[in-house]
Amino acid sequence: MSILLVTASPRGESSLSTKLANDLANKLQARDGGDIVRRDVGANPLPHIDGVFAAAINKPADARNAAEADAVAISDKLVDELLAADSVVISTGLINFNISSALKAWIDNVARAGRTFSYTENGPVGLATGKKAYLVLASGGVYSEGPAAALNHAVPYVKTVLGFLGISQVEIIYVEGVAFGPEAAEKAIAAAIARAEELALAA
């Protein structure tokens, strides 16, 4: 079994989403064994999609110049990590009602026609099948339910793009309401830990 852990917080190990994602990945490993491949895009940001990359992916490998080859090589490595994983654990804070730009860059690099999805006469088909994903989402407010739920664009987006790639099983772990004082933060963390344990046992 292989677990891909993608963390996207600029706060490093002090990040609640990162801590919970690490904890979940470790629990999945303890249950099923295997290796954890760690990809910290918060500490080590990936290049955003640009003209060089856009041109490169539409050329045969032997027709790419050095810059184009480098751009595709990064993407290829990320795609290989995703395709090799049996489970994918992703963490991010809710930034302006969506995922962080660091995580978006990872998604843009792994969403590759011909590698993680393909277009057929019956429409697009995901190629990154046979795996389960977990999203750890941290936020100061409460966005899983209530009046602010409509502002949570992170969960629908991640589920949509992963589903497009063939990953239809996506579990969500919220660490929310942490800005409402120490007691609320403690309750939020405890609830997230309990949810992670529940999911790890059910894996």
**Residue 97 pLDDT > 70:** yes
DSSP annotation of 144 reads: S
pLDDT 10s digits, 123-158: 999 999 999 999 999 999 999 999 999 999 999 999
Angle at 197 between CA 192 and CA 200, to 5 degrees: 125
Predicted pLDDT of residue 203: 60
Query: What average pLDDT does the chain have?
Result: 95
Instruction: Kindly report the backbone phi and psi dihedral angles of residue 109, in degrees, each rounded to the nearest multiple of 5, phi listed first.
Output: -80, -30
Which residue, chain included where needed, has tokens 């602010």? Answer: 148
Helix H or strand E encompassing 40? strand 35-40
Average pLDDT over residues 26-51: 95
Query: What pTM did the predictor assign?
Result: 0.95
The pair of structure tokens assigned to 140 is 């100061």
pLDDT 10s digits, 39-94: 999 999 999 999 999 999 999 999 999 999 999 999 999 999 999 999 999 999 99
